[in-house]
Chain A
Amino acid sequence: MTFFILLGRSFLDFVEDMGGVFILLWRVFHMIPRMFRNITNILVQMERVGIGSIPLVLVTSLFVGAVTSIQAAYQFHGYVPLRYLGTVVGKSVILELGPVLTALVVGGRVSASIAAELGTMKVTEQIDAMEMIAVDPVEYLVLPRMVAATVMLPVLTVFSDLLAILGGMVVANISMSVSYNVFASGLKLLFETEDLIGGLMKTFFFGLIIAIMGCYHGFATKGGAEGVGLATMKAVVSSCLLILISNYLLATIIFRLIFAPS
Chain B
Amino acid sequence: MGHNDGEPILRIRGIGKVLDRKVVLDGLDLDIHRGETLVVIGRSGCGKSVLLKHITGLMKPDFGEILFEDQDITQFSRKKLFEMRMRFGMLFQSSALFDSMSVGQNVSLPLRKHTGMGDGEIREIVADKLGLVGLTDVYDKFPSELSGGMKKRVGLARAVVMNPDVVLYDEPTTGLDPIMADVINDLICGLQKELEITSVVVTHDIKSAYKVGDRIAMLYGGRIVFSGPPDEVRTTSDPVVRQFVEGRAEGPIKPL
Contact = CB atoms under 8 A, between A and B. Distances in A.
Interface of A: 121, 124-126, 128-136
Given A133-B110, A133-B113, A134-B110, A128 B92 contact: yes
B85 A125 contact: no
Interface stretch (B94-102, B204-212, B248-256): B94-102
Contacts of B83: 134
Contact of A126 (B88, B89, B96): B96
Interface string B78-98: 100011011011101110111
A124 B86 contact: no
Most buried by B among A121, A126, A128, A133: A133
Contacts of A130: 98
Given A126-B99, A128-B58, A133 B94 contact: no
Contacts of A132: 56, 58, 85, 88-90
> Do most interface residues of chain B lie in helix, strand or loop, or is the interface mixed?
mixed
B92 A131 contact: no
Contact of A134 (B53, B113, B158): B113
A130 B86 CA distance: 11
11 contacts: A124-B96, A125-B93, A126-B98, A126-B99, A128-B58, A129-B96, A129-B98, A129-B158, A133-B85, A133-B109, A134-B83
Interface in B83-138: 83, 85-86, 88-90, 92-94, 96-99, 109-110, 113-114
A133 B78 contact: no
Contacts of A125: 92-94, 96
Contacts of B92: 125, 128-129
A135 B81 CA distance: 11
Contacts of A134: 82-83, 85-86, 110, 113-114
Given A125-B96, A128-B96, A131-B58, 20 more contacts: A121-B98, A124-B94, A124-B96, A125-B94, A126-B96, A128-B53, A128-B58, A128-B92, A130-B98, A131-B56, A132-B56, A132-B88, A132-B89, A132-B90, A133-B85, A133-B109, A133-B110, A133-B158, A134-B85, A134-B113
Q: By CB atoms of chain B within 10 A, which of A129, A130, A131 has the most?
A: A129
A126 B158 CA distance: 13
A34 to B, nearest CB: 12
Given A126-B98, A131-B58, A136 B78 contact: yes
Contact of A129 (B53, B82, B90, B162): B90
Contacts of A136: 78, 82
A124 B97 CA distance: 9
Nearest to A135: B113
A134 B112 CA distance: 12
A74 B56 CA distance: 66
Nearest to A222: B20
A136 B97 CA distance: 16
Contact of B85 (A121, A124, A126, A131): A131
A128 B55 CA distance: 13
B78 to A, nearest CB: 7
A36 to B, nearest CB: 15
Between A129, A131, A132, the greatest number of chain B beta carbons within 10 A of the residue's beta carbon is seen for A132
A124 B94 CA distance: 7
A130 B109 CA distance: 9
Nearest to A134: B82
